[in-house]
Structure 1
C-alpha cells in the first residue's frame, strides 16, 4: 500500500515544540510517511541552530531550507522570504508531499505556503482564526487560512472565525491546541535537575521573561525594553530571560537583554535556547511569566501560572483568567508583577480551565493526524468555494 506523504514545516524552536507530538503521531502511523523541512531560525547560528533538537527527538529532517534570518530589519526579512520561496519550491518539488502542514503565523511560513499553492499541494493549517492585533502575524495567519484546504483551530471562537472568512465548515475542525499534548505524561525535569541544567536557583519568586518585537504600529523598541527591565528590577524579582524571535528589531532586544543579564549575574539568567522540555519544566516551577509571548495564553494556563502580558502584541486572543494585561511602562509592569505574586490572585486561579485544551486528554495530535490520513485528496480539495453565511448565522 502506498503511504500518504505528510510534510511538516518547522521554522523555530517554539513552533517545533507545538508540532513535535503531531510529527511523532504521523511517523508512527503505518499508512503515513512523515517528511520534515527545517528552515528559518532553526538553521541560524544566532538562534542556536535548533535543528539539532529535532533530530534529538528521533525525527529525520528531509530537507533544510536556509532563509538567512537575522531579525535586523523589515527589508532583511523580505529578502529572507525571497530565498525561502525558491528553497521551499525546490524542496517540495523533490519530496512531492500529498499534504503540507503549517502551524501558526510566523512570516517565514508565507514562503512554503506560496510554494505549495503554486505546486498544487494541499495545505493543512493549525492555529488559524486567532488575532494578534499588535503584530503583522495577524495578516500572515489569515493569508495562510485562505491558502489552506484543511484547518485545525484551537478554540471554538477561532473555528467560527475561519468559517466567517468563507471556509467550508466541514474542513474546519477544533480539537484544541496540539502543543498541550506534551503536558500529559510529560517527563519534566525535577526542580533540582532544572536548576542544575540552568545553573540558576529557582528559589521563589522567579519570573520567565520573553519579549518579542511589536511589529505593527509605531514603537521605540529601546524604550520598550527599558520599561520592561525597569519594571522587573523595581519588582525585586529574579528572572530567566529567553530569546526574542527573528522579527525586525528582535536582534536589538536580544543584545540588550543579554547585556543586562551579564551585568546582573545571579539575579538574571540569559537562557536563549531552553528546548521544549526545559521550557515546560520552567513553567512548572517559576512564579510568573512576563512579556508578550503567546505561550502565556496557551501553555501557561495549564500550569495555573500568572502571566503579566505586556503591551498589545497579543491583543485579540482568547484569554484565561491567568492573564494580567498591562501597558509597556515601568510602573504598570511592576504593579502587574505584584498582582501576579499576590496570594489573592494565585488562589483565584485554582479552578481555572485552559480554553485551548478542548478535550484535555493529550490526544489532539492524534485527532489531527487521523484527519490528515483519512481526508480524500483530489482536485476538489484544492478547489475552494466561498462559504457564504447569513447575517447572525454562525
Structure 2
C-alpha cells in the first residue's frame, strides 16, 4: 500500500488562494493525499472581507489560523508581520510534521514558509517560481521569488522559460517541472453564468459593457500608488462604462489606494468589491470588455479569456505577456489610448486568441498530482546540490 502524502499549504491572501485552489481541490479528492491548510495574513482582515470564511466554506481542513498581519501601511509593518508569521508557522510545522509544505509565488508567505520549513527539514514545493519582473526602481517580489526557489526542493513552474530560469539558479533539473498555472484550471472549470445570473449575484445590472479595475501598490514606489489609481479611475470613468473595482492587496501603500477608492465610490459608475465568490469573480472577468490596473491576473489568466489588459505603471514589467497586455506609463493619454484600442479595435481583439494558452492548458492539477506521487524520498529531496 502506498503511503499517504501529508501536505500542508500556506496561504496569506485571496488572490494566492485562488491560484492554489484547483490543486488543493485535486488533493482533497484523492486518497493519496492528506491535506491541511495554514491560513494567515490578509485572510483574517476586513480588507478582503475575512476570506478565511471562504476557505472554510470550500470544505478544506484548516490546521491553523495565524493572525500575523499588522494594521499598517508601512514597510516596517510588513517586515514585522513576516516575523510574526515565522514564529507561529514554526510551531504549526513542529506539531503537524508534514511530508511537504506547499507555497506559491513571491509574497512573504512563500519566503517565510520556505525558510521555516527548510530549517525544520521539511521539503518545500514551490509553485510559480522562475517568473521575472524588473520594474524601474526594483521590486522586492523579484528577490523574494528567487530566494524562495533556492530554499525550495520541488518546483512547479508555469512556463518552460520559467523552468529554464530556475535551472540557471543552480537547481537540479529533476526537481523542476513545467505544469502551467492552476489559475487556468480554475477558469476552465468554473460554471458559466449568464448576465441575468451574474447581475443578481453582483447586485448590479451588468447587461451593458463594463471594465474591471484592479490596482496594487509597488514596493519601490508606494508613494505613487494613490496617484496611479486616481488616474486609472478617471480614464475608466471617461469611457462612460460601468467600472468594477477590486480591493488592493495588503502591501504597503494599499491604505492610500483604498482612500482614493472610497472617494470615487460616490460615482454611479464605480462599484467597489472586497471579496466575490469564485464563480462570480470568474464570470465578471469573462464578460468584461477590458481589465485595467497592474494585477498579475492580466498577465497570467486574462490571455485564456482573450481579455484585453492595460498594465499601468512599473508593476509586472518584464513578465512574459501575451498580445492581450498593453504596458503603459501612468499618464492619462497613454491609458486612454490603450483602453480605446482594447474596446474598439476589432482586429486587435481577434489577435488575442493566438496567445490563449501561454500560461497553461487548464490541466495543471492532473500533471502535478502525478508528479507528487513519484517524488523521491525525503532524504534525497533535502540533499540539494547546486549545479554550477
- The answer for the alignment partner of 2:284 in structure 1 is 282
Q: How far apart are residue 46 of structure 1 and its match?
A: 2.9
- The answer for the alignment partner of 2:207 in structure 1 is 203
- Counterpart among 221, 224, 240 of residue 228 in structure 2: 224
- The answer for the alignment partner of 1:387 in structure 2 is 387
Q: Secondary structure at the match of 1:297?
A: helix
Distance 1:222 1:21, change over 3 A: closer
- The answer for the alignment partner of 2:32 in structure 1 is 31
Moved over 4 A (4+): none
Deviates more, 1:31-40 or 1:142-151: 31-40
Distance 1:369 1:200, change over 3 A: same
Distance in structure 2 (CA, Å) of the matches to 1:344 and 1:162:
37
Q: Does 1:194 align with 2:195?
A: no
- The answer for the alignment partner of 2:43 in structure 1 is 42
- Counterpart among 145, 149, 154 of residue 153 in structure 2: 149
Q: Does 1:138 align with 2:142?
A: yes
Q: How far apart are residue 66 of structure 1 and its match?
A: 1.2
Q: Does 1:256 align with 2:257?
A: no
Q: How far apart are residue 330 of structure 1 and its match?
A: 1.5
Distance in structure 1 (CA, Å) of the matches to 2:349 and 2:72:
36
Q: Secondary structure at the match of 1:209?
A: strand
Distance in structure 2 (CA, Å) of the matches to 1:144 and 1:352:
28
Q: Secondary structure at the match of 2:62?
A: coil
Distance 1:183 1:233, change over 3 A: closer
Deviations 1:291-342 (A, max 9, x none): 0000011111111111111111101111111111111112211111111101
Q: How far apart are residue 219 of structure 1 and its match?
A: 4.7
Q: How far apart are residue 217 of structure 1 and its match?
A: 4.5
Deviations 1:190-248 (A, max 9, x none): 22111112122223431100000011257522322222222223333321000100110
- The answer for the alignment partner of 2:114 in structure 1 is 113
Q: How far apart are residue 260 of structure 1 and its match?
A: 0.7
Residues 204 and 286, structure 1, Cα contact 8 Å, conserved in 2? no
- The answer for the alignment partner of 2:273 in structure 1 is 271
- The answer for the alignment partner of 1:311 in structure 2 is 313
Q: How far apart are residue 350 of structure 1 and its match?
A: 3.9
Distance 1:381 1:346, change over 3 A: same
Distance in structure 2 (CA, Å) of the matches to 1:155 and 1:320:
13
Distance in structure 1 (CA, Å) of the matches to 2:39 and 2:274:
19
TM-score, normalized by length of structure 1?
0.93
Residues 8 and 35, structure 2, Cα contact 8 Å, conserved in 1? yes
Q: Does 1:356 align with 2:359?
A: yes
Q: Secondary structure at the match of 2:219?
A: coil
Residues 67 and 80, structure 1, Cα contact 8 Å, conserved in 2? yes
Deviations 1:334-390 (A, max 9, x none): 111111101232122244433101xx2x331122122222212232211211112xx
- The answer for the alignment partner of 1:16 in structure 2 is 17
RMSD across aligned positions (CA): 1.6
Deviations 1:230-276 (A, max 9, x none): 22233333210001001101121122113212x103x1100121132
- Counterpart among 180, 183, 196 of residue 184 in structure 2: 180
Distance in structure 1 (CA, Å) of the matches to 2:236 and 2:87:
43
Structure 2 spans left out of the alignment, 5+ residues:
none
Distance in structure 2 (CA, Å) of the matches to 1:226 and 1:33:
46
Distance in structure 2 (CA, Å) of the matches to 1:71 and 1:337:
34
Q: Secondary structure at the match of 2:6?
A: strand
Structure 1 spans left out of the alignment, 5+ residues:
389-394
TM-score, normalized by length of structure 2?
0.95
Distance in structure 2 (CA, Å) of the matches to 1:51 and 1:314:
27
